[in-house]
Amino acid sequence: MTAPTTSAGFDAAYRAPLTLWGDIRVPREVKAIADRLADGKVLELGCGLGRFSQYLAERGLDSTGVDFSPVAIDKASARVAGKARRANFMVADVTNLHVPGGPFDAAFDIGCFHCLDAEGQAAYAAGAASVLKPGATLLIWGMETAPSDQPFTPDAAEAIFEGHFRLVRSAPSRRRFARSYWLWLERL
């Protein structure tokens, strides 16, 4: 099965009880966001079922998760209802980002950016910059052989984010058993 590319395709995937990318363990790189920010506002791009935003809300951050799949956002909202008051989910397209509640102190993305084509990635970089505070960190995890036709590497990302973010650090990863990277970008 190939990964979906459209909102409708992801909706169909999220109607199933399990998704292909169902690694629900909170990555230590995401936990580190809560270790670093005592409080503040965090944005998750392509949040899916919202488990990581829920985790950060439970750690005391105001967390907003966005995704273009209404099915995922409904499921994320239903799961936190009455539990994680500081988690908030909304439908939004990361290639045309409009999200209230900013500017944010940090943002993160586990497996959304690598779904986008070149045009979408350029729009994502500008949109993420528009909602983050200067100096804020954008953490991205993506697979080197991405679901889109765009390779995801530190060099490729550095070129796409140029003018909006600077690449501060990268680390290879085997999350989901795939050759992949964590990138830490700083909003200029």
Ligand X SMILES: C[S@@+](CC[C@H](N)C(=O)[O-])C[C@H]1O[C@@H](n2cnc3c(N)ncnc32)[C@H](O)[C@@H]1O
Residues in the site for ligand X, rule: CB under 6 A? Answer: 10, 21, 46-48, 67-69, 72, 93-95, 110-112, 115
Query: Smallest distance, Å, CB 130 to ligand X?
Result: 15
The span from the CA of 165 to the CA of 162, in Å, is 6
Amino acid type, 116: L
Helix, strand or coil for residue 58? helix
The span from the CA of 149 to the CA of 125, in Å, is 17
Of 73 and 136, CB closest to ligand X? 73
Query: Smallest distance, Å, CB 39 to ligand X?
Result: 23
Of 18 and 38, CB closest to ligand X? 18
Tokens representing 81? 């209802």
Query: Smallest distance, Å, CB 45 to ligand X?
Result: 7
Query: Smallest distance, Å, CB 159 to ligand X?
Result: 20
Of 40 and 48, CB closest to ligand X? 48
Angle, helix 70-80 to helix 51-58, in steps of 10 degrees: 30
Count other C-beta atoms under 10 Å from residue 171's C-beta: 12
